[in-house]
Copies of this chain bind each other. A is one copy, B any other.
């Protein structure tokens, strides 16, 4: 998962995009990048690390211009190489920079086509570089008689025809303006903000509405599935549906876990959705746990499961308490020559307040269970703190399948719920009882808030992949590629290789 932002302003945008990326930082902490243009040239800086570490004063100085895009990146399933920070750039036709949130499921075929047919070299294994080149190629074709908004939208239409997977896109065509579009299933979110300033209207597109509001822009609307938006360098916005077929299938994992609670995605306030999921979860608990009234306390795992846990407590008339404290200060483990490595205690990250657990029946609510290892540690901590009984509830249904649309998930064999019953999972994580949200309840919770949303991408829960091309063979191949995962940088320890490194556009 990633966060993207684009802006057409009346004043310099470097600090503006930097601040926007901080508002989207929760969507990706692996890399960050900004590209700007003064109408003539592009300027770019990107690097591995968090926003605050990638950009220094001199980098910001080298990002002039009133139009720009930015991205924060989380490693996606298909490409996780550290060198592939976004945005990407191609110089023909016209000069285009682009940032992408999502994942293409057919990027390897496209890469091959690109080289054979269009002789375009893709230098990395990033699907986003492929995507940019497909767009560049189609724009080259569609603009043979001159570059126009119509030719842009025509190119986006062709792009929709060739891409499979998920993509929300911001890009700049040099000397022209900002182009944004969203895949025909609307899997990844993208919304438009507007600011009517003293020098005219300014526009912004971003992955989440918090970025708009945090920057003082008013939420205008969501980009529709398959739709393209063009904002000229002087601030005129045009839009068009560019896909013959389109239907809304937003990623439900955004609402469960990824997005900020204070965002509104496709008409759904995330916070409200999580509360509503709490309601359904409470219902199920009351149905399935006979003596649920004996639960002394309901507890969230900070920070994401708070709304659901609060609502569960309220619905069931139980006590809500915060018994876990999260340490927010994270450091590194250094490899010292000839020195044994001290095992990091889980307690450096999470700690249990004894008074809330001692001799109590505890209901722990987490947003979801993926590998199960963290849940297991949490259950153990509760017991160590004196809990008499530990019931574990997941606000999301069992995660049984990989996500191929831009969220980094382990392979099926690593998913604790894959091919296991709830009881088996309960035993593995050590809980006395385990309650999962039902898939249909989760969807109903969202529909209760926005009835217009009839369907979702919920593939990691229900195994249904909307793009139709995700076969068992595809998943097998994906898992093969993940087999030799590169050693986590934190353990390489040679020199300061894992310190942030910037890349300034030399083109």
Contacts and interface: CB of A to CB of B under 8 A. Distances in A.
The contact size tier of chain A is 35 or more
Contacts of A476: none
A90 interface: yes
Contacts of A129: 507
Contacts of A328: 328
A136 B92 CA distance: 10
A124 B507 contact: yes
A391 interface: no
A424 interface: no
B306 A310 contact: no
Contacts of A262: 325, 351-353
Interface stretch (A51-59, A155-163, A479-487): A51-59
A41 interface: yes
Interface of A: 11-12, 14-16, 18-19, 22-23, 25-26, 33, 41-42, 44, 46, 50-52, 55-58, 60-62, 83-85, 88-95, 118-124, 129, 133, 136, 140, 143, 147, 174, 210, 213-216, 260-262, 269, 271-272, 275, 306-307, 310, 314, 319-322, 325, 327-337, 339-342, 344-345, 347-348, 351-356, 493-497, 499, 501, 503-507
4 tightest Cβ-Cβ pairs between the two chains A and B: A495-B495, A95-B121, A25-B329, A93-B119
Given A22-B327, A22-B348, 17 more contacts: A11-B340, A12-B339, A14-B336, A16-B342, A19-B348, A46-B506, A52-B330, A58-B496, A60-B334, A61-B334, A85-B506, A214-B351, A215-B345, A307-B322, A314-B319, A320-B320, A503-B503
21 contacts: A11-B339, A50-B329, A51-B329, A52-B331, A61-B336, A61-B497, A89-B123, A90-B91, A90-B92, A92-B133, A94-B121, A95-B121, A119-B143, A119-B147, A129-B507, A214-B345, A214-B351, A271-B353, A314-B319, A320-B320, A494-B494
